[in-house]
Structure 1
Amino acid sequence: MLTAIVSTVVVLGVLIFVHELGHFLVAKWSGVTVLRFSLGFGPKLIGITRGGTEYRLSLIPLGGYVKMLGEGAEDEVSEEEVATSFSAQPVFKRICIVLAGPLSNFILAIFIFALIYAFSGIPQLTPEIGSVAANSPAKKAGILAGDKVLSINAKPIKTWDDLSSIIERSGENPLTLTIERDQKIMTFQVTPSVTEVKNLFGEPIKRPVMGVTASGKVAIEKVNPLYAGYYSLLQTWNLSKLFFLTVVKMVEGVISVKTLGGPILIAQMAGQQAQEGFINLINFMALISVNLAVLNLLPIPVLDGGHILFFTLEAIMGRPLSEKKIETAQKIGMIILLVLMLFVFYNDIMRLLPGHKPDFMP
């Protein structure tokens, strides 16, 4: 329990700090007066003021914020302060300030992945077969669970992704598999069949398959540290696409809202990862950092993506949206977020009940 609490505080604390630091630094570089930099919401626990900015730690640790001069329509700004107010900045600068938060989370994830890959390596599913479906092409060819695929059509296979991609590209053409079984090298001819299967989101698709599943065993692939940055960029990009598609599929109704998780789920997973080691914990932090960045870029008012949408429309129209329209949109956005919060807290609590079957996507 204590491990889960400490791990959650560390993970969320770092992610929130990095996110708000992005806003803060770009605002400062843009000449905007920053009134407050807060980790957490609600009443102040401790704080200190330096250079006209109050740095504080607040009671509710589920977020943070940077308060800039002239950020709100109701803010009073004197004539002497107008030049350093947020609202007086060109629209491009305002977009950069808002965008800096999510970008900082992307950068943190890239940095963490690069460190892991450079010093530890990249975890990859091995091409070892875990199960073979009855009456499948693999079963008919004589392939068994526990077999390790060494090559397909003389092309070396190092990971399960290599195996999957070759089968998908082959269509229904015959494949020659070189397999290691009980320290013996064997060769099999397999002709994949096009079958309806379910993709990651549970949607039915047709693709060529042999009828095998991975054993789930993982091997660490050592990479040149000079290439670690490239692989970390690739991993961050792939995760961003996955998280964005997950949101789209949820809106479409393909994925149930029961898969949503909140602070309690994060605490459970953070505790599990911490028990498995430091590398697992910071890898989890990187995953959540990408998730946080993608969610913040959604065009929902009150989120960074919503502000960016307003500023983009202002740039296109040549004038800002009316305060009434922005206020109405923000109220709608707040309602959406409150509903989502209720969902995630409900889901988190239901998962804690005895006998409840987990239905979230790990």
Structure 2
Amino acid sequence: MTSIVSAIIVLGILIFVHELGHFIFAKLFGVGVEKFSLGFGPKLIGKKIGETEYLLSAFPLGGYVKMVGEGGEGEIPEEEKARSFAEKSPLRRIGIVVAGPGFNLIFAWFLFIVIFMLGVPSATTKVGEVVKDKPAARAGMVAGDVVTAVNGKKVARWEEMAAEISAAKGQALDIEIRRGAVTKTFRIVPETRTGKNLLGENVTSPVIGVVAAGETVIDRYPPIEAFSRGSSQTWTVIELTALSLVKIVERAIPLDTIGGPIMIAKMAGQQAEAGGVSFLAFMALLSVNLGVLNLLPIPILDGGHLIFYLWELVFRKPVSMRAREIAQQVGLALLIGLMVLAFYNDIARYLVGNG
């Protein structure tokens, strides 16, 4: 039950943020908004305020903003043409379309800043295991040692230590450690290890053969540093998400890694139980994914509409209705195929398998 409630909260917030982007920019550019719906399908509840009917609909896996004249279907009353989406310039339509994914990315950025202010867990440099017959073991390091400097540069977090080892590019390292009340320095030449990164690519890296003890501290940052770190983290996640999509197309990342609603619900429940910061981080990651995915040039998604309006902007004429209809059908087929794959993976992972 926790997983279902958590998933509803996460998806509800992210869908609201996305549609709010479309809504605000539609209003900003003088476009009338007839409906603002969280969810698709039959209306569960609704209330009309001004010209807009605000709805909660039956199927929660999405939402929509229905604007006056959207899609250019049917005749628009003369008095409504000035407030019609179809009558606005291509640039304004592009702004309205991009605003949805853009708000998701901005929301993720805001969440990451808040996360760094609230505090993120970081592993200390305490060594939990020294791998037998590896460079650190041969030099004399033992479990319980705390690394305090690498090549004269002070380190207090495992990530900092790893970065310094990597920066040396396999050259000999002076590793300073604290063992109880004693300080020692070891001269260690790293060895090269080949493994796979998050994108399934083979990468080589220098290692000395130590494993973190798992001791963590909470690092909290003042607003200015949190802003910087949050911005950097947002961009890193955007890049990683885009590269992951490319690798899926190239089949470097297996298709069975794609997850659907069951996976989201399970992960949302796990992150909610792990605590507020973990839950916010999961929401930020999902918000980036939603923003990037919606910008893909697939008809029926925001990115597909963006292509139509860019065409109109460049060639000074809209894409023909027939071409749009065919493109929408192809896009719908692709989207349904992706949803079927995600559901299949969820069923195989959690209902049939041992997930």
Q: With the length of structure 2 as denominator, give the TM-score of the two structures.
A: 0.94
Which residue in the other structure is 2:275 paired with?
Answer: 277
Asked whether 1:218 is paired with 2:209, we answer: no
Contact kept in structure 2, 1:73 and 1:323, CA below 8 Å: no
CA-CA distance at 1:133 after TM superposition: 4.1
Which stretch has the larger CA shift, 270-279 or 203-212?
203-212
Q: 1:262 to 1:43 in 2, by over 3 A?
A: same
Contact 1:122 1:223 in 2 (8 A): no
Q: Distance in 1 between matches of 2:352 and 2:215?
A: 30
Q: 1:91, CA displacement in angstroms?
A: 1.1
Q: 1:172 to 1:327 in 2, by over 3 A?
A: same
1:147-205 superposed Cα distances (whole Å, 9 cap, x missing partner):
33211011011323222222222122111011233454321111123343322223212
Task: Give yes or no for contact 2:199–2:243 (8 Å, CA) kept in 1.
Answer: no
Q: Does 1:200 align with 2:185?
A: no
Match of 1:52 in 2: 51
DSSP 3-state at the match of 2:71: coil
Residue in structure 2 matched with residue 234 of structure 1 by the alignment: 232
Amino acid at match of 1:109: A
- 2:99 and 2:215 map into 1 onto residues whose CA distance is 39
Deviation of 1:251 (Å): 0.8
**CA, structure 1 residues 9+146, in 2 after alignment: closer, same or farther (shift >3 Å)?**
same
Cα deviation, residue 60, structure 1: 0.6
* CA deviation string 1:28-51 (max 9, x = no partner): 110001111000000001111122
Q: What pairs up with 1:1-362 in 2 under 5 angstroms?
A: 2-118=1-117, 120-182=118-180, 184-353=182-351, 355-356=353-354
Change (3 A) 1:332 1:147: farther
Alignment length, in residue pairs?
355
Is this contact kept in 2: 1:194–1:206, CA < 8 A? yes
Give the superposition deviation at 1:16: 0.6
Amino acid at match of 2:293: L
Deviation at 1:132, TM superposition (A): 4.1
In 2, the alpha carbon distance for the partners of 1:330 and 1:126 equals 52
CA deviations on 1:66-116 (whole Å, 9 max, x unpaired) are 011111132431222122111111111111101111111112122222222
C-alpha distance in 1, partners of 2:325/2:125? 55
Structure 1 residues 200 and 215, CA gap change in structure 2 (3 angstroms): farther
Q: Supply the AA of the counterpart residue of 1:114.
A: I
- Indicate how the Cα distance of structure 1 residues 300 and 354 shifts in structure 2: closer, same or farther if over 3 A, else same: closer
Does structure 1 conserve the Cα–Cα contact (< 8 Å) formed by 2:3 and 2:265? Answer: yes
Query: Is contact 1:69-1:75 (8 Å) kept?
Result: no
Q: Which moved more, 1:156-165 or 1:139-148?
A: 139-148
Q: Which amino acid counterpart does residue 282 of structure 1 have in structure 2?
A: L
Change (3 A) 1:317 1:122: same
CA 1:128/1:344 → structure 2, altered by over 3 Å: closer, same or farther? Answer: farther
Distance 2:235 2:249 in 1: 21
CA RMSD, 1 decimal: 1.9
Distance 1:251 1:243 in 2: 13
List runs of 5+ in structure 1 lacking aligned partners.
none
Contact in 1 for aligned 2:120/2:277 (Cα 8 Å): no
Structure 1 residues 125, 293: CA separation in 2 closer, same or farther (over 3 Å shift)? farther
Closer/same/farther in 2, CA of residues 139 and 298 from structure 1, 3 Å limit: farther
Tell me: CA distance 1:49–1:315, structure 2 relative to 1, closer, same or farther (3 Å): same
The one-letter amino acid of 2:261's match is P
Paired letter, 1:166: E
Percent sequence identity over aligned pairs = 48
Report the CA distance shift for 1:214/1:202 in structure 2 as closer, same or farther (over 3 A).
farther
The one-letter amino acid paired with 1:172 is G
Q: Using the alignment, how far apart are the partners of 2:116 and 2:204 within structure 1?
A: 34
Distance in 2, matches of 1:353 and 1:51, equals: 46
Deviation at 1:351, TM superposition (A): 1.8
Q: 2:172 corresponds to which letter in structure 1?
A: P
Instruction: Tell me how far apart the structure 2 counterparts of residues 330 and 186 of structure 1 sit (CA, whole Å).
Output: 67
